[in-house]
Chains A and B, each alone.
Chain A
Amino acid sequence: MRWFTIKKTAKLGIKSLWMHKLRSTLTTLGIVFGVCSVVAMLAIGEGASRETQAAIARLGSTNLIIETIKPPQEQADTGKVEAMRNYGLTYADAETIHNTIPYVEVTVPVRELDQEARYLNRQIAIKIVGTIPWYTEISPIRLMRGRFLGSTDLQYGQAVCVIDEQVARELFAFDDPIGTDVRIYGNYYRVVGIVTQAAAVRLKEEPAVGDKSGGVAGYIYIPITTAKRCFSEVNYSFSGGKQSLEKVELQKITVKVRSAEQVLPMRDILDVLLARLHKAKNDYHITVPLEMLRYAAAERRRSSIVLGSIAAISLLVGGIGIMNIMLATVSERTREIGIRRALGAKKRDIVIQFLSETLLLTLAGGIIGIILGSVIPFLVTYFSRQPTAITGVSLILAFGISAAVGIIFGLYPAYRAANMDPIESLRHE
């Protein structure tokens, strides 16, 4: 087809659609809403999945996180109420992992404690993270000022600490924290560095032992040796008229491997090793961020299918509406079709004429839908603070879909128009 033919056909199409403005508008609405929902849902889905992926990526895709969990109560077995329950990850576990498994780049034991930190007359709730200098390799925290914990600190169990920016802000306000002492549980710790905040990432429902998250202003990092010396590993609690004693050495051991391919084999190795060390005590759990990334991707595919089918149904409804109107238009314009046929229009010309009208309708609907659909995610982000992301692919997809709907639902009416008998249609009133 030559350019002027296209131009003329489009012009004619617009003209006849313009003649029935209300009808054309109403017909287009179906496609507008369909395309709008496609764009909006894809943007919301994409935003959610990016958020999840970013959260998982913060955990580190080459990390494996082993957490202590509280095993189920075994009171019936022991019968002793006051028995000290000894469970969870131990220093020996960390040692064994580090010494026996090849490919382990770093093994980082973590002891977490909820405490209060004081400076001058200020006091805030914080979480103490007792760990080793290599913690920075497995965590997304970045050093802002000063230094992180060093190996000498670890070796001699120095009373030093590194605080995060939130703690620095709340506890020190306008004072410079570096070089000052913070008091925690009766001991003073010299602040040697400030790090960025580690956004609390917890994708599992069950919290790790001792994690009463919420109400914690920030994190204070101290050498794990210092933590062992200053804080008891035995936890005494009294509830419901019963007192209980628990002994937990480590809350977490993070193992980092060199590459993503080694993550899943490493999980199996850790499983075997820990199962032997812990003799089926069921007091640990291995989290693999990489695996969670895969789950998230699968989840995303699933939700895309669900959202996609909802959008597809609305487009289908819109398409049927368009087909209906086009069939009405065709029968209304029977005589015109007869005249055109008498003046030399081939069947193909008639098909093109009506198909282009349908296409114009759906493409107009598609464009309006894309515009509306692009506005909705901004509103969602504005009002619900849920992240959204409009991708170019989704816009192209939405436009393509509206064109496809136009062709699919325009073909039959156009075909019917073209196959009318010219003599009959000329006689049509």
Chain B
Amino acid sequence: MDVVKIEKLCKMYQLGTFQLSALCDIDLIIQQGQYIAVMGPSGSGKSTLLNLLGCLDRPTGGRYWLGGKDVSELDDDQLSLIRGKHIGFIFQSYNLIGQLNVIENIELPMFYQGFSEHDSADHAQKLAEMVGLGDRTKHRPSELSGGQQQRVAIARALANDPTVILADEPTGNLDSQSGAEILSILDELHRQGKTLIIVTHDDHIGKRAQRVIHLLDGRIDRDEFNHRR
């Protein structure tokens, strides 16, 4: 099943009278359960692609089907709904909310989907246990190490059982050991059949992924499958 299908996707930015093309004519099909690394030098359009895939932004041209649904021309409310339901974000800087404890952070996506408090608390507890933080559910993010914070973020990304998990440099702020832990959790998710798209500079991740998409100057430069794995 094609989880992501992109046709001639373009993103232009208007800078005064000058038009900057951040992404141009991207065609891409991602199947359910694929583990994809998006790589490329800075300015190659990785972040723009991630924003578009994550429905944080709308393309200026082309079409995007997410889970079979055309999302390229949805309005802001519908995009919010799609983000909450179908996308799980993992950020480089974790982006947990400081005033909320671990459980409350994990509950957040469920809150916006209108889950009842009871259901979401149970589910959040399970997710916290899954990432190995079952005993720290009342801690604030500031009381956790970077690796632990990122694990909370992963649990949060999984809260609504999203169609696609989008990670932006998930190990970028971590030491190598915590990074390795995070990567093994991601591997585990892949084994469970989740679709993972990871934007990274890190060749280790590139090697772990099934498929590596190299971007250059807003275009897909290479699209390789790792057969070594």
Listed in ascending order, the chain A residues whose CB lies under 8 Å from chain B are 2, 4-5, 7-8, 12, 15-16, 19, 335-336, 338-349, 422-423, 426
| A16/B99 in contact, CB under 8 A | yes
Closest to A427 in B: B47
Q: How far is the CA of A344 from the CA of B51 in the complex (A)?
A: 14
Knowing A2-B114, A4-B116, A339-B97 are in contact, say whether A346-B108 is a contact too (CB < 8 A).
no
Which of A8, A336, A342, A344: most chain B Cβ within 10 A? A344
Knowing A2-B114, A8-B117, A343-B112 are in contact, say whether A423-B57 is a contact too (CB < 8 A).
yes
| A342/B83 in contact, CB under 8 A | yes
Could you say which of A336, A344, A426 contacts B91, with CB atoms under 8 Å apart?
A: A426
Closest to A348 in B: B77
Q: How far is the CA of A16 from the CA of B99 in the complex (A)?
A: 7
Knowing A4-B116, A346-B76, A347-B77 are in contact, say whether A340-B108 is a contact too (CB < 8 A).
yes
B35 / chain A contacts, CB cutoff of 8 Å: none
Q: How far is the CA of A241 from the CA of B178 in the complex (A)?
A: 114
Q: How far is the CA of A340 from the CA of B108 in the complex (A)?
A: 8
B109 / chain A contacts, CB cutoff of 8 Å: 343-344
What are 30 A-B residue pairs whose CB atoms fall within 8 Å in the complex?
A2-B114, A4-B116, A5-B111, A8-B111, A335-B95, A338-B95, A340-B97, A340-B112, A341-B80, A341-B83, A342-B54, A342-B83, A342-B89, A343-B84, A343-B112, A344-B80, A344-B83, A344-B85, A344-B109, A344-B113, A345-B80, A346-B80, A346-B81, A347-B76, A347-B80, A348-B77, A349-B80, A423-B51, A426-B91, A426-B95
A348 / chain B contacts, CB cutoff of 8 Å: 77
B80 / chain A contacts, CB cutoff of 8 Å: 341, 344-347, 349
Could you say which of B51, B56, B57, B112 contacts A346, with CB atoms under 8 Å apart?
A: B112
B84 / chain A contacts, CB cutoff of 8 Å: 343-345
A8 / chain B contacts, CB cutoff of 8 Å: 111, 117
Closest to B94 in A: A339
Closest to B47 in A: A423
B114 / chain A contacts, CB cutoff of 8 Å: 2, 5
Q: How far is the CA of A344 from the CA of B117 in the complex (A)?
A: 17
Would you give the shortest CB distance from A357 to chain B, in whole angstroms?
12
Q: How far is the CA of A374 from the CA of B95 in the complex (A)?
A: 46
Q: How far is the CA of A339 from the CA of B108 in the complex (A)?
A: 10
| A349/B95 in contact, CB under 8 A | no
B91 / chain A contacts, CB cutoff of 8 Å: 426
Would you give the shortest CB distance from B54 to chain A, in whole angstroms?
7
Would you give the shortest CB distance from A3 to chain B, in whole angstroms?
10
Would you give the shortest CB distance from A77 to chain B, in whole angstroms?
90
Q: 9 tightest A-B contacts by CB?
A: A344-B84, A344-B112, A346-B80, A343-B109, A4-B117, A339-B95, A345-B112, A346-B77, A344-B83
- Cβ of B63 < 8 Å from any Cβ of A? no
Residues 148-180 (chain B) with a chain A CB within 8 angstroms: 156, 160
